[in-house]
Structure 1
Amino acid sequence: MARERPIVDECLARLKAVETVRAVDLRPGPADGLLVLTTHSGRFQYLCEVKRALSRPRLEHALVSAAHPPRAGTRRLLLTDFVPDSLIDLFQQAQVDFVDAAGNMLLRWPGKLHVHVKGMKPTRIAEATASFLTTPNGLRVLFALLAEPGADVPAYRELAEQAAVSLGTVGRVALELKRRGFLEMQRRRKRRILRRKRELLELWVGGYAERLRPQLVIGRFRSPDRDPADALKRLTADGDGSLRWALTGGFAADALTGHYRGDQLILFVDPWSSSRAAGLRWLPSVDGPITLLRMFWPRSVERTLEKGEARVAHPLLVYAELLFQGREREVETAKLVYDQYLQPNISGA
């Protein structure tokens, strides 16, 4: 946690400045430590996690994927660089408290302690948003790394082919991964090992929503079919077999978990043309229930999961899309996808 120390120190200083607080003690423990807060109202214990550059999808991911649930009598506390007012509702719904380096905080122990400070502005740009890793090409490389089981990193040329980026882009990503402690070079064994995949997943999920997905959107459409499932049947029954497609979002999650489908049909497709849309009688619509995204990973079709009659995109893409949609049922389903398909791979490195 050394690289996060400046954030931790600033957050602890903000806590100590609260009038009711008498002492703040951060001790070693699960996650990023146990914090004991001594106040005029008593002592309170938190399980701490340090996060950078929170966006809505990144926070949703942090709330869904907690590796260390708090024990009875302990609450979760996120220490971060900045929490915009637009995210406070997520903390309130999840019963998770926070302190940021700007001085915003939410501390809730019903009947004993309630501290809520908001409106304080950040003092610096967060590293996570300024990183080359979160550029569209950087995110393509991260996806290629995270999509594979295990921690071994392939040869850079192979990785460039998998991610459909230049060899120079892979080299630049690798340098930053190494600088930030995500990439370990084992020269004697001639291996490159990916470390802290859970943190990289958090970075990727936020980057997908903020930087990568906007580049992938072909458009939204409305079909003459009322049920999006019928629109999907129309798509799969049409054409000469040249269209590659894979479900993501709710329809994909339903195929993976059987828990929730939703009313939005979201697909990765390649190739796509206005003539194909016309043939399907799909009309462009800014709020249509059908969203088409470009396939950005050359191995998308090869790695598509066949679940019944459904072709499902990689679970990492399904998970990120559910968090991007962000409604309560999507987030609830995202947790199931994470637990069943992602956690076994992520927790291994």
Structure 2
Amino acid sequence: MNNETQIVDLALENLQKTAGITGIWKPGALKELDGQLELKLNNKTIKLNTEIKRELRGHNLPQIEAMAARFNPLIVVAQYIFPKIKEELREKGIAYLETNGNIFLKQKENFIWLDLQKAALPYVEKTNRAYTKTGAKILFYFLLNEDLLNLPYREIAKLTGVALGNINYVITGLREQNFLLKLDQYRYKFQNKRELLNKWVTAYEKRLKPTLEIGTFRFVKGDAFID
């Protein structure tokens, strides 16, 4: 389920089934966000600025907090939100709605918290070599300097410090997901770059970052760092 409209439509359908709350989705109501949600509750209309995510993970929270501060009242609509993330959203007073109908909304005159439905499992994509540990490293260089996309593979491998064969896997993976626009027989440029950046952040957090920690160290003498 990739389409934002599909996510919000299913969320509203299940919200009506589970809580009897109806809603209207207005896409593009705000330029910086995905749209606006109008919920009908006790003969009142609650208007909520809306950001839609397929999944909501830890690295998304700072962005969501900034949006909530700027576009209050904000609700996040997602196919799946990890339980720990839902807890953090509730602590910060940020509203959310999942596609299974689970909802949290806390305002001065309105309070809704429904968490009875079994969560829809997060979508698991077919393995793409662009988001492996090595792929995330190569993609990092591409995102920093898009011109690297059009260098010979051997030169890219030398600059990124990875084996030559990995370059083709990453380029092919990006092409399969329509992140590369072919300019001519030899040259590419990025498209849908924001979505690609989000995928890289997830790949970095899950696969590359854990391998970068060298270890935890301490001084033999506790006050040695002062000298």
Question: Is TM-score (shorter-chain normalized) higher than 0.5?
Answer: yes
CA distance in 2, matches of 1:8, 1:155: 41
Task: Give the counterpart letter for 2:40 in structure 1.
Answer: T
CA distance in 2, matches of 1:100, 1:36: 16
CA distance in 2, matches of 1:152, 1:41: 57
Q: Tell whether the 8 Å contact from 2:101 to 2:117 is kept in structure 1 after alignment.
A: yes
What are the residue-to-residue correspondences of 1:161-180 with 2, within 5 Å?
Answer: 161-180=158-177
Query: Which residue number corresponds to residue 213 of structure 1?
Result: 209
CA 65–175 in structure 1, closer or farther in 2 if over 3 Å, else same:
farther
State the SS of the aligned residue for 2:214.
strand
Match of 1:185 among 173, 176, 182: 182
Following TM superposition, by how much is the alpha carbon of 1:215 offset from its aligned partner in structure 2, in angstroms? 1.9
* Residues 105-153 of structure 1: per-residue CA shift (max 9 Å, x gap): 2122221x222222644444424695544321221122112223x6873
CA distance in 2, matches of 1:2, 1:176: 18
* Residues 234-255 of structure 1: per-residue CA shift (max 9 Å, x gap): 8xxxxxxxxxxxxxxxxxxxxx
Q: Structure 1 length normalisation: TM-score?
A: 0.54
What are the residue-to-residue correspondences of 1:336-347 with 2, within 5 Å?
Answer: none
- 1:8 equivalent to 2:5? Answer no
Following TM superposition, by how much is the alpha carbon of 1:93 offset from its aligned partner in structure 2, in angstroms? 4.0
State the SS of the aligned residue for 1:161.
helix
Query: Which residue number corresponds to residue 51 of structure 2?
Result: 49
Q: Tell whether the 8 Å contact from 1:53 to 1:129 is kept in structure 2 after alignment.
A: no
* Residues 175-231 of structure 1: per-residue CA shift (max 9 Å, x gap): 33233332222228x542223333333322332222212222221111246579x38
CA 159–18 in structure 1, closer or farther in 2 if over 3 Å, else same:
farther
Task: Give the counterpart letter for 2:214 in structure 1.
Answer: I
Q: Percent identity?
A: 23
Query: Which residue number corresponds to residue 270 of structure 1?
Result: none
Q: Tell whether the 8 Å contact from 2:21 to 2:40 is kept in structure 1 after alignment.
A: yes
Q: Tell whether the 8 Å contact from 2:25 to 2:38 is kept in structure 1 after alignment.
A: yes
* Residues 31-66 of structure 1: per-residue CA shift (max 9 Å, x gap): 22222222225212222222233332x223532665
Match of 1:109 among 92, 107, 110: 107
Q: Tell whether the 8 Å contact from 1:177 to 1:183 is kept in structure 2 after alignment.
A: yes
Q: Tell whether the 8 Å contact from 1:63 to 1:94 is kept in structure 2 after alignment.
A: no
Query: Which residue number corresponds to residue 61 of structure 2?
Result: 60
Q: Which runs of 5+ in 1 are unaligned?
A: 235-349
Query: Which residue number corresponds to residue 218 of structure 2?
Result: 222
State the SS of the aligned residue for 1:60.
helix
Q: Tell whether the 8 Å contact from 1:184 to 1:193 is kept in structure 2 after alignment.
A: yes
Q: Tell whether the 8 Å contact from 1:23 to 1:38 is kept in structure 2 after alignment.
A: yes
CA distance in 1, matches of 2:53, 2:27: 18
Q: Tell whether the 8 Å contact from 2:68 to 2:74 is kept in structure 1 after alignment.
A: no
Q: Tell whether the 8 Å contact from 1:61 to 1:205 is kept in structure 2 after alignment.
A: no
Q: Which runs of 5+ in 2 are unaligned?
A: none
Q: Tell whether the 8 Å contact from 2:148 to 2:156 is kept in structure 1 after alignment.
A: no
CA distance in 2, matches of 1:45, 1:156: 52
CA distance in 2, matches of 1:151, 1:38: 50
What are the residue-to-residue correspondences of 1:119-138 with 2, within 5 Å?
Answer: 120-127=117-124, 131-138=128-135
CA distance in 1, matches of 2:151, 2:43: 57
State the SS of the aligned residue for 2:97.
strand
Q: Tell whether the 8 Å contact from 1:156 to 1:170 is kept in structure 2 after alignment.
A: no
CA 92–4 in structure 1, closer or farther in 2 if over 3 Å, else same:
same
What are the residue-to-residue correspondences of 1:141-180 with 2, within 5 Å?
Answer: 141-148=138-145, 153-155=149-151, 157=153, 158-180=155-177
Q: Structure 2 length normalisation: TM-score?
A: 0.78
Deviates more, 1:36-45 or 1:124-133: 124-133
RMSD: 3.4
* Residues 58-85 of structure 1: per-residue CA shift (max 9 Å, x gap): 2235326659942xxx522222221122
- 1:118 equivalent to 2:115? Answer yes
Task: Give the counterpart letter for 2:97 in structure 1.
Answer: V
Task: Give the counterpart letter for 1:42 in structure 2.
Answer: K
CA distance in 1, matches of 2:178, 2:133: 21
- 1:23 equivalent to 2:23? Answer yes
CA 147–107 in structure 1, closer or farther in 2 if over 3 Å, else same:
same
CA 156–124 in structure 1, closer or farther in 2 if over 3 Å, else same:
farther
